[in-house]
């Protein structure tokens, strides 16, 4: 096989987001109400409070896909 293929195989991990990395402030969590990570960090002090986010930012009140995939982002906010 070509060396370029092996190089690409070795670098594939760089393309996959690591679950232990914190999300950037601009990362959009709720598309329906345009809630991003910065909004959540500003409202919640040290951990994600879904009740507070629902009350103040309407998180999960639209299509609810943000809540369906919360395991992908909830532990990467703080």
* Res. 31: pLDDT tops 70: yes
DSSP run (H or E) holding 39: helix 37-43
Q: Using one digit for the tens of pLDDT, what is the confidence trace for 36-61? A: 999 999 999 999 999 999 999 999 99
Instruction: Choose between 74 and 8: higher pLDDT.
Output: 74
* Bigger pLDDT: 2 vs 19: 2
DSSP calls for 41-74: HHH-SSS--HHHHHHHH-TTSSS-HHHHTHHHHG
Instruction: Return the SS3 of 38.
Output: helix
32 close to 61: Cβ distance less than 8 angstroms? yes
């Amino acid at each position: 096989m070509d060396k370029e293929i092996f190089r690409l195989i070795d670098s594939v991990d760089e393309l996959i987001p690591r679950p232990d990395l914190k999300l950037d402030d601009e990362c959009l969590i709720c598309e329906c109400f345009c809630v991003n990570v910065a909004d959540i960090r500003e409202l919640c002090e040290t951990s994600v409070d879904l009740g507070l986010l629902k009350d103040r930012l309407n998180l999960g009140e639209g299509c609810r896909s943000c809540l369906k995939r919360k395991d992908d982002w909830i532990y990467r906010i703080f």
